[in-house]
Structure 1
Amino acid sequence: MELKKIDAQEFATLPNFDVEYEDSAYAGEMSEKAYNVLANACDDAQGGYFEEMLQDLYLDQALFAREMDAKGAFARIVKRLYEHGVASGDAGCCCNLANLYHNTSGRGSAEDYTHAVELYELGSDRGDTQSMINLGYIYYYGRGCERDYTRAYECYARAALTDTNPEAYWKLGDLCASGKGVRKSDRIAWQLYSKAYELAGKSPLAARAAHHMADYLMRGVDGVMGPDPERALGLYVQAEVGYYHLIDAGLTYYQRQLDQSIEGQRLAREALQKRDLDIRAGE
């Protein structure tokens, strides 16, 4: 797909600091706060500072999600900024533009998925690890194509080797845990989830790794460790808190995992109570 940069004449028509919100053509199409976000982003984009542009756009994730869902002027301008970034050679903008075409429900058009794959591949070639990971999701779920777990594995592995993105490690863990595309190995899955947890640090994304680790701790991993419901409980609680933050940021598809982490806490508490009763019975 051919994309054009935004020239000076077009930039003059977009939100900018030379025109007050009340005097702009966008006063009735978006909030003043949204206008100011775009003014900052456009200023960065015009200077070629695309990392800063993306940071400006996502500073208030709830506002960004709300305005993008409205599919009005804000969304049109954001898409145009992404296109400008891609045409200017930026890697991160490839992923962000691809995300607009990537319908995660699986109900997108064949043309949209083709655009998403093309942009993720371009971003991957430019070194963007999130593009590699999201391309993996395309193959993992078979969005616009046949499911291909082997290709999904290749995408996640490439991302893990390129950078320290925790998402790449927990997706590799998912494949090893299920045996899809690779030989099933709970031992290796545990190691990958543990690595993802370490890399995520205090980020809400640690929730995914914490959740998987808690599931393993409930049943143990042969040759590695026995069941440890006490540690599992702590990780389920951490996962729950992380999911709340992710959902608040607009990632509502984590609701199912949130419910599972809460149920995991109930099961972990039951296991702890049973262990305590068994200890008392043996006294």
Structure 2
Amino acid sequence: MRRAALILVGLLMGLTLAVMSEGRLAHLRALAPGLVPGWLTGAEDQSSLWRGQMRGLQPTLLPVPADLTWRFDQIDGPGARWSVTLSGPGLSGQGTLGLPLARDRADLRAARLEILVGDWPALIDGWPLGGLVMAQSLSADLTLPGRAVQSVDAALDWSGARLAGVDIGHAEAVLTSDAGTWRAPFALTGDVIRATGTLSGRFGDPLAQLDLRIDPVGEVPEAWQRALDQTAVPTDEGWQISRDIDLAAGWPLF
């Protein structure tokens, strides 16, 4: 009994030293690996619960590696909030992340992302995109430690949109979720084409459903017409595309 008490005291002293040194993960991993939250797997050893960094994250839908940093912000009810940033090639973002004491879930609030899509691989094989995509009022709820998304909402805006070097105008979308599903109605207006449609899916399922209507507004390049005639269903004045997309398949998605 006395030996067990001494061991316990030694462990508590070690944890106290770790906390005094800002709880760096290197110390926690050595002294009490069971206390390291699963969501911190992959964080650098010099990181702590108060601030730190993960490098080379590449979740589904992100075609480039990104670095995540966090910094303690404030106590928030039965938990706390951190300021978080995400950065990578053509990518920057920030928001606040909330974690309850139970550490079984997390919520992202007041977040925004900026994406220079020209710095990313082509979404459509052989058809590079250009312009700035902004996601604002971004919020999400996740379960931990698996980081499974339960809900997500955002307003998206694509300015200076370009396809294969041709200006195609401006696009907007609204991403919403409900009862385990998500959907993003979108519209693009420009001098060459007009496009409207919806991308939708279910959390945990990599397959998404695309319904897209494309109508010519100006002179559509011949290469575009040939590609659309081969991959879409011609309508009276334009083209209709309805297909499943595997979001986990990697880029290009088309």
Higher helix share: 1
TM-score, length of structure 2 as denominator length: 0.31
TM-score, length of structure 1 as denominator length: 0.29
